[in-house]
Amino acid sequence: MMHFRQGLWEEFFKGDRLACARLITAVENEPEALPEVLDKVIPAQKGGIRVGVTGPPGVGKSTVTAALARRAVQSGHAVGILAVDPTSPFSGGAFLGDRVRMQDLGDDHRVFIRSMASRGGHGGLSPATPYAADVLDAFGLDRIFIETVGVGQAELDVLDCSDLVVLILQPGTGDVIQALKAGITEAADLFLINKADLQGTETLLDSLRFLMDISPVRKGRPFPPILEASALLDKGMDAVSAEVERLIQDCVGSGRYREKRRSRLEQEIRSAIQRKLWDGYSMLAGADDAIRAAAEEMIEKSGSPYPYIRRACSRIRIQLAEERAGCDKKE
Ligand SMILES: Nc1nc2c(ncn2[C@@H]2O[C@H](COP(=O)(O)OP(=O)(O)O)[C@@H](O)[C@H]2O)c(=O)[nH]1
Ligand SMILES: [Mg+2]
């Protein structure tokens, strides 16, 4: 059974933006559509590069993303922006000055911009973000920027989802320590000190260089480059954009892109199997009651959960065997 109306996929593959938006809505809100979407989009992917843009709130992620996107378009790339930041001006909710400039970008038919709801108090990324990036890749966008909120543990998700990570910091805050604690500095491929027009840029540069001196080489990779810019004034952004392109070439050329893509696919297969097994189990008659009863028994009799889990697994095995037999009969 197809989830979507007839013609939607043709429109999508012809480059219809409404069709693309419809599919992203589906991966966000309609879990039952996911198998069909992934079935169509994964084989159609064209090697779009996912660039994560992360950093504390207000550091200039949206402004930097817009500046990078504009340059990518000028160099002939087809650009997607996934903004997971609820305050992102891409969605229209910001200062007028920003909004005008972002809309500039939004009107450009070579840029596809989409805000993603970040759910479940998880911060960082919406669970649908990787799928939305899959859709944009299949849509033919070859530079996909993913802007995420804040710097916290959740930000590490951006890693799984991106081929490259740009970490943005600004002078005059203690954010570098926060970022360090969260482990995001380990993950960054490029440090960008934004708002270099403000005081304290030298101090921040010094602390980053100090960090560089004391940090062992990270997993065989050298410490990332540190650049400074003022995205608001559009100063230094040519160099940042050039460096991002250089990192992209390096990522593709070194085989790291392929590796990232494979590990994303592995992860997807793993979670699809988990979803399928869980769906299968939870649909069994009385599954919810049995789980509740097992939990009650653990409390009442200080029981271990494992006898119950073993029984549940054998019910799944029996169910799978029955499904299998059903398939064999049909064939
Ligand atoms: N002084 C200065 N302000 C900037 C710069 N880049 C962004 N801003 C301002 O910082 C605020 C937050 O920017 P935004 O891009 O929304 O940050 P985000 O929350 O990280 O996405 C806005 O008012 C921007 O105009 C910069 O280079 N210098
Ligand atoms: Mg933002």
Ligand nearest to the Cα of 196, by number = 1
Q: Is 194 helix (H, G, I), strand (E, B) or coil?
A: coil
Q: How many domains does the chain have?
A: 2
Lowest model confidence (mean pLDDT) among 4-13, 103-112, 124-133: 103-112
Q: What does the pLDDT look like over 101-124, one tens digit per residue? A: 555 565 566 789 888 876 544 445
Task: Tell me the percentage of the chain whose pLDDT exceeds 90.
Answer: 46
Question: Residue 95's pLDDT is what?
Answer: 34
Q: What is the CATH number of the domain that holds 177?
A: 3.40.50.300
Cα–chain-centroid distance for residue 13? 22
Ligand nearest to the Cα of 229, by number = 1
Q: How far apart are CA 68 and CA 101, in angstroms?
A: 13
Question: Over 50: is that where the pLDDT of 264 sits?
Answer: yes
58 and 191 inside one domain: yes
53 and 174 inside one domain: yes
Nearest Cα residue to atom 19 of ligand 1: 58
Q: What does the pLDDT look like over 220-251, one tens digit per residue? A: 667 789 999 999 999 999 999 999 999 999 99
**Is position 228 within any domain?**
yes
Average pLDDT for the chain: 84
**Is position 326 within any domain?**
yes
Average pLDDT over every residue of 297-321: 88
Domain that includes residue 87, residue range: 45-255
DSSP class per residue in 247-312 = HHHHHHHTTHHHHHHHHHHHHHHHHHHHHHHHHHHHHSTTHHHHHHHHHHHHHHH---SHHHHHHH
Average pLDDT over every residue of 66-75: 93
Name residues contacting ligand 1 (CB within 6 A): 55, 57-63, 85, 87, 89, 94-95, 98, 194-195, 197-198, 230-232
Give the pair of three-digit tokens for residue 158. Answer: 């951006």
